[in-house]
Amino acid sequence: MKKIGYYKSCSLNASSNDYALSLEMSFAKLGTRLVPIDDWNCCGASSAHSTNELLGLALPARNLALAEQQGLTTLLVPCSACYTRMLTAAEKIRKDDDLAAEINEVIAPLRYMGTVQVKNILEILWNEVGVNEILAAKKHDLGGMKVVCYYGCYLTRTPGVACFDNRENPQFMERLVRMIGAEPLDWPFKTDCCGAGFSLIDAPVTVDLCEKMYERAYELGADAMVATCPLCQTNLDVNQDKLISQKAAPYHMPVFYISDLIGLAAGADFGNKLWRKRFVDPKDLLNRYALA
């Protein structure tokens, strides 16, 4: 069984433990084991880098040093906010010896040498798990389910680091969902900001940012939305539920993680233990596509 390093992170450990469940169950179906970093810490996103650059680099560096010590050379960072911070720290340390020395003094006795490859979920699915494995594991077809793929900010926007996909019009998620039989729609909001970082600070700001995304997705006939980040998923799910109950919004588009769909296709038995954790209930939709 293939092993990949895994930065579980605060969200997946608590308020988005449904993502952890989804990832772990779907990866088991794909013959890949996720190995968490022992003794990981919060990477500080987004408060650390927002107020103190050195702290914003040192907190991720501690995790990178621990992963390196454990021999985890390829590291999945499922949360996009964590991903961009871990990637930024890894790249800055790699490119700047003085900065590397300073950060290593801050995290001593730990020391990061620069050997860890920080990867997001799409890169891991595409390059590490592999297209062949995903196709070989496919037991169910998603039957043309119409989805909009949401990348948000940080999957493709880490300044100063080459991006795995097109920054403004990425396609990896569309390719993945097409492989398992869903129909990705051409939707212009896929890299817009949903404001998730502010969902605890100023919720109304985020409702406004999300509403225009729902409107367009609904007009296009989307059955569901697909996300990769726990902050985006929760924000899109909670705000949609809010608009449905408070403003009688006409849409009902469950917000899946990419791992939910990959797992469903591979026959993962998620059932109520996963779906009950969501706000916009996906069960009717799954029944309609014979995926429940």
Partner 1 sequence: MNEQAPQEKPVLEPKRGLAEQIKAEHGEDVYRCYQCQKCTAGCPMTHAMDYPPSQIMRMIQLGQEEELLASKTIWVCLTCNTCSIRCPNDIDIALVIDSLRERALKKGKTPAVENVPLFHKYFLDNVRKRGRTFEGELLARYQLKTGQAIGNAGLGLRMFLKGRLGILPESVSNKKAFREIYSRVEKRGGAK
- Residue 185, interface with partner 1 (CB under 8 A)? no
Out of 54, 101, 131, 135, which residue is the one contacting partner 1 (CB under 8 A)?
Answer: 54
- Residue 78, interface with partner 1 (CB under 8 A)? no
Out of 4, 7, 18, 177, which residue is the one contacting partner 1 (CB under 8 A)?
Answer: 18
Out of 35, 185, 193, 292, which residue is the one contacting partner 1 (CB under 8 A)?
Answer: 193
Out of 6, 22, 34, 44, which residue is the one contacting partner 1 (CB under 8 A)?
Answer: 44
For the record, the structure tokens of 23 come out as: 């990832």
- Residue 201, interface with partner 1 (CB under 8 A)? yes
Comparing C-alpha atoms, which of 68, 64, 78 is closest to residue 34? 78
Candidate segments 28-36, 133-141, 178-186, 271-279, binder of partner 1 by CB under 8 A:
271-279
Q: Which is nearer to partner 1, 13 or 136 (CB)?
A: 13
Please report the DSSP string for 112-158 in residue order.
Answer: --S--EEE-HHHIIIIIIIHHHHHHT--S--TT-EEEE--TTTTT--
| Interacting positions 94-113 with partner 1 (CB under 8 A) | 102, 105-107
Q: Which is nearer to partner 1, 22 or 156 (CB)?
A: 156
Say how many C-beta atoms besides its own lie within 10 A of residue 267's C-beta: 12
Out of 49, 64, 67, 174, which residue is the one contacting partner 1 (CB under 8 A)?
Answer: 49
Q: Which is nearer to partner 1, 50 or 73 (CB)?
A: 50
Taking only Cα atoms into account, the Rg of the chain, rounded to an integer number of angstroms, comes to 19
Q: Which is nearer to partner 1, 18 or 223 (CB)?
A: 18
| Interacting positions 151-170 with partner 1 (CB under 8 A) | 153-154, 156-160, 167
Out of 101, 276, 287, 288, which residue is the one contacting partner 1 (CB under 8 A)?
Answer: 276
Q: What residue ranges bind partner 1 (CB under 8 A)?
A: 10, 13-18, 39-42, 44, 46-56, 58-59, 62, 84, 102, 105-107, 153-154, 156-160, 167, 192-193, 195, 197-198, 200-203, 205, 209, 238, 276-279
